[in-house]
Structure 1
Amino acid sequence: MKLEDLRYNDTLEKFRIEHDLNNLEIGRVTSEHRERYTVQTIKGEFQAEITGNIRFTAKSREDFPAVGDWVALTTNDFDFAIIHNILPRFSIIKRQAVGQFGEVQIIATNINYAFIIQAVDNNFNINRLERYLTICNSSNINSIIVLTKTDLIDEHRINEILDRIKTRIKNTPIIPISNITKNGYERINSCIEQGKTYCMLGSSGVGKSTLLNNLSGKSLMRTDEISQSTNKGKHVTSHRQLIVLENGGILIDTPGMREIGIADTERGLETTFDRIVQLSNNCKFKDCTHTIEKGCAILEAIKNGELEKDSYENYLKIESEKKHFESTIEEKRKKDKAFGKMVKNYKKNINRKK
């Protein structure tokens, strides 16, 4: 396999030369298992660990390798490697780490498109779709909504769901499919371009692993039978994994996510809810909270049926999470700065005593 097959490009090669990494090999991280990584190089596949320097200097989880990363490494004859550097990323899909405010979890890096996958059974949830869109928009990643299990409902119900999504989510392609009948597969295959990287996002049991197996034509991911009582599949994908398809497209499967905490410090929220942001510019008062004020353009749009109340409430909830995340990040920065100053002063005092 050539590095170009994994989308290595001139920009990455320029970085390698400019940073004097000529004595190191280049590879792309294809899977991650608790800080052990599988890396694909032109020599083949290697199991890898990071150097102590990367671990020591890392300020956050974003300083560690992730699936999709390009890395500079040394290899040996025992299929083992040491990762010395992470090459620049052009995109990062991340969420707030579960139970750890102010910390992020990287889902995948260097992604061109995200397949946001949701089943059309009783667990269908537009609010969740908007959350996934927000974390993708934060990194300027194009999204494609994939609705699975369409064989479980009739065409009328499918059209109802499509209409509901289109009312709230604009300019995002939607592809209904069935992993059983393969309806919709032709359209998905037409979306996958050679050399582009696609990340599959969704909850457990929505059919991501089955979709990956079907698209690749191989049993790459284990799948379990659907429960007859709940129509849910069991959680079987335990790690992130990068796969190169026969047509040259690259797919990254991810474990199902129960929580999609927002780690948005960019404009992902504003992009997802651009209609609400536009309406807010027409409010009578500049400091309008969009809750009780007369002359609020958003409340007026809800009253007139121009804006769904559920979408507005979801926006408020995500916005609150974003503000809390940003304030937590700022608080951590202040603490780190204070700690760094304390260490610096301690070293000065030690040197004076000497």
Structure 2
Amino acid sequence: MTLEELGYRPDLENYRKSHNLEPFMIGRVASEHRERYHVQSEQGMLECELLGNLRFSAESRSDLPAVGDWVAMSPYDEGKALIHAVLPRYSILERQAVGKFGEKQIIATNIDVGIIVLSVNRDFNINRVERYLTLCHASGIEPMIILTKTDLITQPEVQQLLDRIRTRIPEVPLLAVSNLSGQGIDDLKKHILKGKTYCLLGSSGVGKSSLINSLSGEVRMEIGEISEMIDRGKHVTTHRELIPMVNGGILIDNPGMREVGITDGQSGLESTFGTIYALAGQCKFTDCTHTSEVGCAVLEAVRNGELDEQALENFHKMERENARFTTSIREKHKKDKIMGKMFKEVKAHRKRKKF
């Protein structure tokens, strides 16, 4: 594959030249395994590790390569190379780190379109879709929604689910597909553009692995057996991976995410819940919380059936979560500043004692 087919852009080449990286090979991180990376290059797939200086100079995990990153590297053995630098990212898809409130976890980088996958059965959850939408909007990534496993229900039932999604989320591209029958797959392929990068987002068992097999034109992913009790496939994806598609696009698969915690995503909330923010401008009070106030245009819209009550509840929940995350970040920065000041004072005191 050429770099352009992998999604390489002119601005990246300009950066490479302006930062004296021309002597190095360029590749794209396809997968990561405990600080060892598989990097796709024009010479093929290389097994890479980080140059020591790059690892030790990193201030946080976000400074290290992630799936989707472009890296500059030098070969040192057959099929192996050292990563010297990470090129600038034009988008970073991230969520709140699981079990680490106030910290972020990178899902993937340099994404053009986030494909949000939900199935017609147990995993149908519009609230969760709005969470993924917020992550995409906050990262400047174009979202698309795919409803899978349509062969499990009748066509009228499929249409009812599509209508429910469109009522809550009217402006995002929405397609219904069946990997079993192939229905809708050709329409989906028309949305896949050469050189663009797409990231699959969704819970375990919604049909992402089957979708990858359909879009890549080969059986690349193992498909978990269907559990009769919960009517969904078992989770089989264990790590993020970059996969070429038949139409020339690049797909990044993700393990199913049980938790989709939003980070500092105020802009993402405003895009996802644009209707609520527009209505808020008509409220009687400028500091209206849209919970119980007289003259609240948002609550009036719910009473009139113009706004879905569940959408408002989900908005309140995510807004509170965003506020807590922002507060945690401020507190963390404050503590880091205090610790940094104490460290400097101790260092200065020890220096004075020497003399």
* CA–CA distance in structure 1, aligned partners of residues 296 and 38 of structure 2: 53
Runs of 4+ in 1 over 6 A off after TM superposition: none
Matched with 2:146 is 146
Written as runs of structure 1 = structure 2, the 5 A alignment for 1:110-149 is 110-149=110-149
- Tell me the residue number matched to 2:72: 72
| Equivalent residue, structure 2, for 1:217 | 217
| 2:158 is the counterpart of 1:158 | yes
**Equivalent residue letter for 1:331:** E
Separation in structure 1 between the aligned mates of residue 187 and residue 246 of structure 2, nearest angstrom: 16
| TM-score (ref. length: structure 2) | 0.96
Matches within 5 A, 1:86-125: 86-125=86-125
Tell me, yes or no, if the aligned pair for 1:148 and 1:207 is still in contact at 8 Å: yes
User: Paired residue for 2:59?
Assistant: 59
Q: Is the 8 A contact 2:48 2:82 kept in 1?
A: yes
**Displacement, 1:261?**
0.5
Mapped to 2, the partners of 1:228 and 1:150 lie a distance apart of: 17
State the shift of 1:24 in Å: 2.2
Aligned length in residues:
354
User: Structure 1 residues 338, 55: closer, same or farther in 2, change over 3 A?
Assistant: farther
1:229 and 2:222 are equivalent in the alignment = no
Match of 2:328 in 1: 328
Which residue in the other structure is 2:245 paired with?
245
Distance 1:21 1:319 in 2: 43
Unaligned runs of 5+ in 2: none
Contact 2:89 2:110 in 1 (8 A): yes
Q: Residues 242 and 250 of structure 1 are in contact (CA less than 8 Å); yes or no, is this contact kept in structure 2?
A: yes
For the 8 Å contact 2:123–2:206, the answer to whether it is kept is no
Tell me, in whole angstroms, the C-alpha distance in 2 between the residues paired with 1:49 and 1:349.
40
Alignment of 1:263-282 (within 5 A): 263-282=263-282
The answer to whether the 8 A contact 2:137-2:272 is kept is: yes
Distance 1:327 1:56 in 2: 29
Give 2:101's aligned amino acid: F
Paired position in structure 1 for 2:35: 35
Other structure's SS at 1:178 match: coil
Q: How far apart are the structure 1 equivalents of 2:78 and 2:43?
A: 12
Equivalent residues of 2:118, 2:203 under 8 A apart: yes
SS of alignment partner, residue 138 of structure 1: helix
AA matched with 1:110: N
Aligned to 2:352: 352
Letter in 2 for 1:142: E
In structure 2, do the counterparts of structure 1 residues 217 and 35 end up closer, same or farther at CA, with 3 Å as the change threshold? same
Of all paired residues, the percent bearing the same amino acid is 55
- Cα deviation 1:245-267 (Å, max 9, x = unaligned): 23211111110111101113450
Q: Which amino acid in 1 is paired with 2:318?
A: I
Q: Which moved more, 1:155-164 or 1:217-226?
A: 217-226
1:246 and 1:152, CA in 2 relative to 1: closer, same or farther beyond 3 A?
A: closer
The alignment partner of 1:293 has SS state of coil
Verify the 8 A CA contact 2:76 2:82 in the aligned structure 1.
no
- Contact kept, 8 Å, 1:61 with 1:104, in 2: the verdict is no
The answer as to whether partners of 1:30 and 1:241 remain within 8 angstroms in 2 is yes
How far did residue 157 of structure 1 move?
0.7
Moved more, 66-75 or 334-343: 334-343
Aligned to 1:319: 319
Give the superposed CA RMSD: 1.4
